[in-house]
Structure 1
Amino acid sequence: MMTQINLYYPLWKRYLPVLAIQMKKAITEEQEINFTKSDLHNLGNRNKADYSFSLELENGKVKNNISGSAVARDLYDVLLTSPKIKELLQDNHFKFSLGKAYVLKITSLKA
């Protein structure tokens, strides 16, 4: 079995500037980014796949188990390539969740 490495890098890299802006805004209110099925489908290898995931980051560290989600792992890796985002991740607690409707929600969990 061949493991696909970093399949979703191109998608997240393309959205990196948007993610940076939305994360900054998410500190005050939840943000949403709409993707299309083909955004993920063209990269993914799972046919009727469920691309849903939840990624929780506190001070730049992953707080939940994302080992089963390549989409989430790639998002995390790509986020760390941006100095602006790395700065936002410090002292903040974010949750990224992608649901079945391909809407990525970015929420700040900081009390």
Structure 2
Amino acid sequence: MYTQIWTKYLPIIKILLKRSVNGDQVLDLNRIDFERVGSGRKAGYKFSIEFNKGRVANIISGLPLASDLALVMLEDANVKAILQQSDYVVSLNTKFQLTMKNVEPKEAVTEQA
């Protein structure tokens, strides 16, 4: 349902995932894109996806917005490669800000470099 929208944002998400090694990254999304596709309600657009070594680590099956984002990210070979290098949390808040956090301990990231 939301895969077309997430595919549009994927190139930016990829860049921000790479940059998240240095700190949290935030992407402001266009609320109207999502409200057109969804039920039009403003509430309910909030989720958090935990990626551990390239796999979704938490339950998001009841959230089509989150499920579609995870699907689009894992289907892209480059994004999947980034996700396999570290642990990430990708979350959306009610202001339509998508936040990407690299949750790998800093020591582990510097040792791999």
TM-score after normalising by structure 2: 0.87
Q: Which residue of 2 aligns with 1:56?
A: 50
Provide the rounded CA distance (Å) in 1 between the counterparts of 2:14 and 2:84: 13
Give the CA deviation at 1:46: 4.9
Q: Hey, which of these two has a bigger chunk of helix by percent?
A: 2
2:59 paired with 1:65: yes
Contact 1:98 1:104 in 2 (8 A): yes
2:51/2:83 contact within 8 Å kept: yes
Could you report, residue by residue, the CA deviation over 1:39-77 in whole angstroms, capped at 9, with x for unpaired residues? 210111252441100000011111111122111100011
CA RMSD in angstroms, aligned pairs only: 1.1
Letter in 1 for 2:65: V
1:4 aligns to what? none
Matched, 1:29 2:20: no
Separation of aligned partners in 1, 2:33 and 2:24: 22
Query: Helix, strand or coil: the match of 1:110?
Result: coil
Quick one: which amino acid aligns to residue 17 of structure 1?
P
Q: Structure 2: which 5+ runs fail to align?
A: 106-113
Shift in alpha-carbon separation, 1:48–1:15, aligned structure 2, 3 A: closer
- Percent of pairs identical after alignment? 31
Say how many residue pairs are matched. 105
Gaps of 5+ in 1: 1-6
Aligned partner (choices 72, 94, 101) of residue 100 of structure 1 = 94
Match of 1:78 in 2: 72
